Amino acid sequence: MTDTVRTRIAPSPTGDPHVGTAYVALFNYAFARRHGGQFVLRIEDTDRRRSNAASERMIFEALRWLGLEWDEGPDVGGPYGPYRQSERSEIYREHVEKLVASGAAYPCFCTTERLKALRAEQREKKLPIGYDGHCRSIPPEEARRRRDAGEPHVIRLAMPREGESVVNDLLRGEIRFANSQIDDQILLKSDGFPTYHLANVVDDHLMEITHVIRAEEWISSLPKHVRLYEAFGWAPPVFCHLPLLRNPDTSKISKRKNPVSLNYYRRAGYLPEALLNYLALMGWTMPDEREEFSLGELVKNIDLGDIRLGGPVFDLTKLTWLNGRYLRRMSPEEILERLRRDLYSDEYFLRILPLVRERIDTLEQFAEYSQFFFTGTLEYGEAARKKLLVKGRTAPQSAKILRVLLEEALDPVMEWDAAHLEPAVRTACEKAGLTPKELFMPLRVAVTGRPATPPLFDTMEVLGKETCRRRLRHAVELLRSMK
């Protein structure tokens, strides 16, 4: 073990880059820098079904935009690679076999159906929900035979059934769990990929991570992780669980109730340094109580022990105020530079121009015609409101149709271009029992505010996911209030 501090951020590339990732990354980054250590980026893409390259790329871009540079990672390399878990399968398999050999883990042949039925029964009888250890009693020789015969199985951790697990959190101190209510966690899935629990423990150890700074939602699986360190004979790192960012209603932050994509903040014109500054205020205070400070100043002053445990509500209003303060301190030249970099680049104009060229006769008309490419949320006039309605449906019904369209068809689109959007929306039409013609107009009006625009999917592509989703949300709210 080295004695330098090593921290990591370990996002899963399964969606848009999340503000919570930035929050956790910020503290990991600051703590590592404060102690002259390393900050590692590790991609946890062991969910083969949901992980995708577009999402991974967006994570890199978003963290770089924020200025949270990592010392080691999939794209920059480093002495502890590979840094993408999908490229480390062999390592996990070797390690899990050690556990099976020592009896700390065992193969489980239970089917998904059996587990489902088990859960249903436990729910019914109001018993604690969890694996019942069914396959734990299979003699090792028999298990070996069945595995060799190619019978589908997973590997589970054999948790002690009695006694207590006492784990430690830097901020909370000792936390105790009765072992009887911790079930045998799956370590290796039937597809041969590890679960988070196995992969993160193995990687944190091999990558010599000294401080695991992550979100509070992991506390309940801490005993399983600690048990793994013990089973491997490894010294565990220091664990520090950060409070969870909250929606205004204090539930865990979610895109239904608060913008969570870092792409949103970038597109909406927040400055990375202001966002970082605001995030640092969530649970932490400068020794002199100053509210405005740079990343460098955070690094100089960070002390994990100073973090408050109450889950902070992410308050857009205060973030926006802070952002304004930053903006006002900048020179016009600096602002122009940001405008060009993050919002209105030449490249952006060049994407709009092909769409509006045919539709304008003088240069002046460009501003008028393409105005909706440059604003945030839209005001819907009387005429637009009417066209927001799906033909033959009431306002609340239309609201629901657009909401479902957004959440089920559009949100999952990671490569936001016409080629991916069109099939997604057409499929949504079928599911909703609507013709394209019936759905396209409300969608068009929702995202542009107008009934006449360049081709819908090209327009949506240029507007970008964040602007489209923001306007759709707004339109849904408006329709709801229309009754």
Binding site for RNA (CB under 7 A): 10-12, 14, 44, 46-47, 49-50, 110-112, 115, 119, 126, 128-131, 152, 154, 171-172, 175-178, 181, 183, 186, 189-191, 193, 195-196, 200, 216-221, 243-244, 246, 249-252, 281-283, 285, 289, 291, 306, 308-313, 315, 317-318, 321, 324-325, 328
Q: What torsion do the CA atoms of 439, 440, 443, 448 make, to the nearest 10 degrees?
A: -160
Contact between 440 and 401 under an 8 Å Cβ cutoff? The reply is no
> Which lies closer to RNA via its Cβ, residue 242 or residue 428?
242
Contact between 287 and 301 under an 8 Å Cβ cutoff? The reply is yes
We find the least distance from the C-beta atom of residue 292 to RNA, in angstroms, to be 9
> Which lies closer to RNA via its Cβ, residue 184 or residue 461?
184
**15-41 as b/e: b if 16+ CB within 10 A:** bbbbbbbbbbbbbbbbbbbbbebbbbb
Q: How far apart are CA 225 and CA 205, in angstroms?
A: 11
Strands 164-169 and 154-157: unpaired
> Which lies closer to RNA via its Cβ, residue 317 or residue 331?
317
> Which lies closer to RNA via its Cβ, residue 244 or residue 356?
244
> Which lies closer to RNA via its Cβ, residue 281 or residue 456?
281
Catalytic one of 126, 224, 252, 255: 255
Say whether 255 is catalytic.
yes
Strands 38-41 and 6-9: parallel
Q: How far apart are CA 255 and CA 173, in angstroms?
A: 32
We find the least distance from the C-beta atom of residue 448 to RNA, in angstroms, to be 27
Element (H, E) at 8: strand 6-9
What Å distances lie between residue 303 and 126, 205, 219, 283, CA to CA?
43, 23, 21, 12
We find the least distance from the C-beta atom of residue 438 to RNA, in angstroms, to be 33
**87-112 as b/e: b if 16+ CB within 10 A:** ebbebbeebbeebbeeebbbbbbbee
We find the least distance from the C-beta atom of residue 455 to RNA, in angstroms, to be 36
We find the least distance from the C-beta atom of residue 371 to RNA, in angstroms, to be 21
Residues tagged active-site: 255
